[in-house]
């Protein structure tokens, strides 16, 4: 960075030059501590390690390709027997008759994740904003480890918590409050709530880190224009952090699509297209987890479940690609 | 001119600031002269920036600060109970060490401050955006790309944009926290020239660590050391004929 040189700097530089000359003289007189000339082993190791890290990286990237190839190969039998449109858009599901319509599972997956997003995104965003912009150090000292623990709880515990608390609440209180009766409580709403609670700590932590990277000076500059704290947060801090916030949501919800056990425990697992938030649903991960034990006993069932897994993977990939496209557009508008 | 006839926008009485256990500002009492350029000088960590940021209450955003005493802006104690902090800040444009363009277009950077203060008519905004970009000598360089992101401007242009943005909310005072320290010599010259022009209409207070800059453009100099004001007065007196030993050492280059 170009900088004005003041008198002090010039003085410092001249002093440094004097010192340099003195060291130059003393090096010539003393015997060198480090042997000159290259050690061939070091050179070989250097080249070798470069290749090792590259090989490891390619291997991990290859995993994705291998998984996709495996799923596609295993899906071929069911794809040969049924047109793709039937598989994706039919809701007839009777494995014994060889009818595989995946629409109920696809929609259940999307709905549960959407409900979770509607609950978790505002909750995460506001929490992260509080922690980053308002909370004092003492509060943070207690809140940060609590979020860590929340994020580290095994998902089966969230499932049990959902069964014991969320399902009865949805059945007895929330449905009555909305004037809906005769619901079981096992529903895509319960699945969404449990999922939201699971995703929330991860998203909060990432969004918090992202907000912390917004320079303090930018907040000061906005405040100095006479903006209120909330105007500063809403119009400048969030805007500047928006690519990171979106990236946090992508990360959180890529996991959410595939979250299995906790959702499976509260979502009802009924093969139907959910018509409302109190209806039972049957997301793809639950389908696979519930049936992989018997998939070999029914013809074509194993191939159908592999195809289900492939659909899930494609949903996650499409979601990721779309979200990154949005992210790029936003980045271009501010950079 | 007697001292009572010197009007001052900012007048500080017995200001003390603690940051945790650190006594960062000690018994500061001073009047900042109106429509003059005042430079705050002193070695790193002496409280120059801290003092500057008490003027518009930005310092209280730092966790663990405790302030006692008074800062009077236009006769109103800004640390008083009923002080309207957004209104106080609106009176002062701020230039930071590094330019801080808002994450939006060049046009919106200038219009932002005006729109939060209620100016919404497109015609008025267009006119004012042009006016303040001209004041900062930036109009000719950006008039064809007003709607591209401000972050794409060069550092020097960004700093002039920040100046225009600060002026657009029509402040009475301009605060500069080493506003040229990240700039190249030509951009530095631009900002210095602007400051000299603007002091006809505005009270300017700038922190600087460059003595020659203070000599070049300041009318009035405040020398601080370890949180205290050691000496203050017209530039030629403080820098030309310092009274206090610490000031002599600093001006002579013995402490930095």
The predicted-structure confidence for A252-263, as pLDDT tens digits, reads as follows 888 888 888 999
CA distance A212 to chain B (A): 14
Residue A273 to residue A281: CA distance in whole angstroms? 7
Instruction: Answer yes or no: is B176 within a domain.
Output: no
Smallest CA–CA distance from B211 into chain A, residue: A6
pLDDT at residue A319 greater than cutoff 60: yes
Give exposure, A123-155, as e/b (b: 16+ Cβ within 10 Å).
bbbebbbebbbebeeeeeeebeeebeebeeeeb
Residue A270 to residue A186: CA distance in whole angstroms? 10
Instruction: Answer yes or no: is B78 within a domain.
Output: no
Instruction: Answer yes or no: is B122 within a domain.
Output: yes
Q: What is the average per-residue pLDDT within A188-217? A: 93
CATH fold of A84-334: MetI-like fold (1.10.3720)
Which residue ranges of chain B lie beneath pLDDT 70?
Answer: 1-7, 256
Smallest CA–CA distance from A243 into chain B, residue: B103
Cβ-nearest to A224 among B92, B210, B256 = B92
User: What range does the domain containing B124 cover?
Assistant: 101-170
| Residue B6: predicted pLDDT | 52
Q: Where in chain A is the domain with CATH 1.10.3720.10?
A: 84-334
pLDDT in tens, A46-93: 999 999 999 999 999 999 899 999 999 999 999 998 899 889 999 889
A335 chain-B contacts, CB cut-off 8 A: 149, 151-152
B183 chain-A contacts, CB cut-off 8 A: 2
| Residue A30: predicted pLDDT | 57
How many other CB atoms sit within 10 Å of the CB of residue A177? 8
CA distance B2 to chain A (A): 33
| Residue A31: predicted pLDDT | 61
Residue B213 to residue B210: CA distance in whole angstroms? 5
pLDDT at residue A22 greater than cutoff 50: no
Instruction: Answer yes or no: is B86 within a domain.
Output: no
Q: What is the average per-residue pLDDT within A297-305? A: 88
The answer to whether A4 contacts B188, with C-beta atoms less than 8 Å apart, is yes
Work out how many CB contacts closer than 8 A connect A with B: 97
The answer to whether B56 contacts A226, with C-beta atoms less than 8 Å apart, is no
The answer to whether B90 contacts A225, with C-beta atoms less than 8 Å apart, is yes
Residue A171 to residue A174: CA distance in whole angstroms? 7
Q: Give the position of tokens 């918590």.
A: A161
Q: Which of A215, A225, A233, A234 to mutate to test the interface with B (most CBs of B within 10 A)?
A: A225
Domain count, chain B: 1
pLDDT at residue A28 greater than cutoff 60: no
| Phi/psi at A157 (5° precision) | -70, -40
| Residue A21: predicted pLDDT | 46
The answer to whether B169 contacts A226, with C-beta atoms less than 8 Å apart, is yes
Instruction: Answer yes or no: is B48 within a domain.
Output: no
pLDDT at residue A272 greater than cutoff 50: yes
Cβ-nearest to B63 among A8, A136, A225 = A136
Instruction: Answer yes or no: is B246 within a domain.
Output: no
CA distance A320 to chain B (A): 25
| pLDDT interval class at A222 (50, 70, 90) | very high
Q: Identify the CA nearest to A249 among candidates A122, A83, A111, A143.
A: A122
Q: Which of A2, A11, A224 to mutate to test the interface with B (most CBs of B within 10 A)?
A: A224
Please tell me which residue, A209 or A20, carries the higher pLDDT value: A209
Smallest CA–CA distance from B61 into chain A, residue: A220
CA distance A148 to chain B (A): 24
CA distance A298 to chain B (A): 58
CA distance B5 to chain A (A): 29
């Amino acid at each position: 960075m170009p900088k004005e040189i003041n008198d002090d700097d010039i003085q410092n530089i001249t002093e440094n030059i004097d010192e340099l000359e003195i060291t130059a003289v003393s090096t010539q007189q003393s015997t060198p501590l480090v042997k000159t000339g290259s050690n061939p082993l070091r050179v070989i190791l250097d080249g070798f390690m470069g290749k090792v890290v590259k090989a490891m990286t390619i291997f991990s990237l290859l995993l994705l390709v291998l998984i996709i190839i495996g799923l596609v190969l295993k899906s071929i039998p069911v794809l040969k027997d049924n047109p793709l449109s039937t598989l994706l858009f039919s809701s007839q599901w009777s494995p014994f008759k060889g009818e595989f319509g995946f629409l109920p599972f696809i929609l259940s997956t999307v709905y549960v994740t959407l409900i979770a997003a509607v609950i978790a995104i505002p909750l995460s965003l506001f929490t992260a904003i509080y922690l980053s912009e308002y909370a004092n150090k003492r509060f943070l000292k207690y809140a940060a480890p609590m979020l860590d623990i929340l994020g580290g709880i095994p998902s089966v515990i969230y499932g049990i918590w959902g069964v014991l608390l969320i399902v009865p609440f949805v059945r007895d209180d929330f449905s009555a409050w909305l004037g809906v009766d005769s619901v079981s409580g096992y529903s895509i709403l319960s699945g969404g709530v449990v999922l939201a609670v699971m995703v929330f700590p991860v998203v909060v932590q990432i969004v918090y880190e992202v907000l912390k990277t917004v320079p303090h000076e930018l907040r000061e500059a906005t405040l100095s224009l006479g903006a209120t704290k909330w105007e500063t947060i809403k119009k400048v801090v969030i805007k500047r952090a928006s690519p990171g916030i979106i990236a946090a949501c992508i990360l959180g919800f890529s996991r959410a699509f595939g979250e299995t056990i906790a959702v499976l425990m509260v979502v009802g697992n009924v093969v139907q297209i959910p018509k409302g938030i109190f209806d039972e649903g049957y997301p793809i991960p639950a389908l696979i987890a519930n049936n992989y034990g018997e998939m070999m006993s029914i013809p074509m069932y194993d191939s159908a479940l592999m195809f289900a897994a492939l659909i899930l993977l494609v949903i996650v990939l499409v979601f990721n690609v779309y979200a990154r496209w949005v992210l790029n557009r936003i980045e271009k508008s501010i950079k | 001119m007697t001292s009572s006839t010197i009007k001052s926008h900012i007048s500080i009485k017995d200001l003390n600031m603690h940051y945790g256990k650190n006594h960062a500002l000690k018994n500061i009492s001073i009047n900042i002269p109106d429509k003059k350029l005042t430079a705050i000088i002193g070695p790193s960590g002496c409280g120059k920036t801290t003092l500057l940021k008490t003027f518009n209450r930005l310092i209280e955003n730092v966790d663990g600060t405790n302030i006692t005493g008074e800062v009077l802006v236009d006769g109103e104690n800004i640390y008083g109970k009923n002080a309207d902090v957004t209104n106080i800040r609106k009176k002062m444009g701020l230039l930071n060490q590094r330019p801080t363009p808002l994450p939006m277009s060049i046009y919106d950077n200038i219009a932002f401050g005006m729109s939060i203060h209620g100016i919404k008519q497109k015609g008025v905004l267009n006119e004012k955006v042009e006016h303040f970009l001209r004041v900062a000598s930036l109009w000719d360089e950006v008039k064809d790309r007003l709607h591209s992101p401000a972050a794409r401007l060069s550092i020097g242009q960004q700093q002039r944009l920040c100046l225009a943005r600060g002026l657009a909310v029509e402040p009475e005072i301009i605060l500069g926290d080493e506003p040229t320290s990240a700039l190249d010599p030509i951009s530095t010259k631009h900002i210095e020239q602007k400051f000299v022009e603007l002091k006809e209409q505005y009270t300017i207070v700038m922190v600087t660590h460059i003595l020659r800059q203070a000599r070049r453009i300041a009318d009035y100099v405040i020398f601080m050391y370890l949180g205290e004001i050691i000496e203050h007065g017209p530039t030629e007196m403080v820098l030309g004929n310092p009274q206090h030993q610490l000031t002599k050492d600093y001006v002579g280059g013995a402490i930095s």
